[in-house]
Amino acid sequence: MAATPKLDSPVTGSRPWLRLLWPAAIAVLGFAALPLDLPIAWWFRDRNCPAEINRWLQFSEVYAHGFGVACILLTIFALDAGRRHLLPRVAAIVFGGGLLANLLKLSLARTRPHDFLPPPAGEMLAAGASASERVALSIGDSFGQWLPLGKVASAFQSFPSGHVATAFGLTAALIWLYPRGRWVFLFFALMAGCQRMSSLSHFLSDVFWGAAAGCTAMVLFLPGGVLAFQFDRLEAFLRFLPSRRFKGVVAQKTGQPPRQRDAA
């Protein structure tokens, strides 16, 4: 049976409280990215991204989608029996990040890029909007009312990216389980973030704030976190079940109770 990941993994570190620096630093990057929101959104809207690369980015949404996450968790369950008892914690990290992002959407309305930017003037005009139209737009205008509490349409739920929160929560959980694959998992998460921008669903700052939400779920649920103790108990129970079942089967075949067989 595979050993439970240790606290000194690349995600947790030897001092769990240091994990708080990850979501805080990424959230600060979100504010720093605000001046880049419009230039990047215009770049994608004007179809400057090569078609083949954009096609690859569309595929990467699976890593940040609930169905794709479920497939990954099902694969771990089927192939890695030694870590099955850890899957409830993994699911809490992944979907907890997405839930936190959805709660943040209730606090502040923000228009998505595909609704905030004016549509292209025509298929024959490659540059799209004129320079005067671009100057007239301000990224501050994309933010709407405080505390919309879900009363706004999806077009005004850009802040933050729930897909990216899910992707980074999944990445943190997978790095905890399989530290050797950390760069692969991080690459998938970054690709998912680029896809949210290429589809004009989110600005760059929304991507950073979504990543911060996913990392916050990591802080809460990984060993040493504020809400980790319940999973510690659950994992101890789930890990004990296969061993107990195995001893019962052996006892039936040998005709000896498990304790007598162990003593012998």
Give me the mean pLDDT over the 2-21 stretch.
60
d(CA 73, CA 83): 11
| Mean pLDDT computed over 53-76 | 94
143 bridge partner residues: 110
Q: Name the domain count of the chain.
A: 2
- Look at residue 134 and tell me whether its pLDDT is greater than 50: yes
Look at 68 and 18; give whichever has higher pLDDT.
68
Which residues are CB-neighbours of 7 under 8 A, at least 6 positions away?
A: 13, 14, 16, 223, 224
Kindly state whether residues 263 and 174 are assigned to the same domain. no
Residue 135's pLDDT is: 60
Is 22 part of a structural domain of the chain?
A: yes
Helices (H), 33-155: 34-45, 51-59, 66-79, 87-105, 113-116, 131-136
* pLDDT for residue 246 is more than 50: no
Same domain, 212 and 252: no
Residues 233 and 208 in one domain: no
96 and 152, same domain (yes or no): yes
Note whether residue 88 is domain-resident. yes
* Termini Cα distance of the chain: 24
Residues 217 and 244 in one domain: no
How does pLDDT run across 160-214, given as a tens digit for each residue? Answer: 999 999 999 999 999 999 999 999 999 999 999 999 999 999 999 999 999 999 9
Q: Using 50, 70 and 90 to split pLDDT, how confident is the model at 123?
A: very low
The answer to whether position 155 is within a domain reads yes
What is the torsional sign of CA 20, 26, 27, 31? positive
Return the pLDDT at 126: 45
Residue 5 lies in a domain: no
CATH number of the domain residue 95 falls in:
1.20.144
Q: Are 72 and 87 members of one domain? A: yes
> Is 6 within the bounds of a domain?
no
**Residue 9: closest CA among 228, 214, 222, 234:** 222
| CA distances to 74, 120, 135, 148 from 125, in Å | 47, 7, 18, 37
Torsion angle of C-alpha atoms 215, 12, 70, 80, degrees rounded to 10:
170
Same domain, 219 and 248: no
Q: Does some domain include residue 7?
A: no
If asked whether residues 177 and 258 sit together in one domain, one would say no
The neighbour count for residue 84, using CB atoms within 10 Å, is: 18
Q: What angle separates helix 34-45 from helix 204-221, to the nearest 10 degrees?
A: 120
pLDDT at 41 over 80: yes
- CA geometry: angle 250, 256, 258, nearest 5 deg: 60
What range does the domain containing 256 cover?
Answer: 228-264
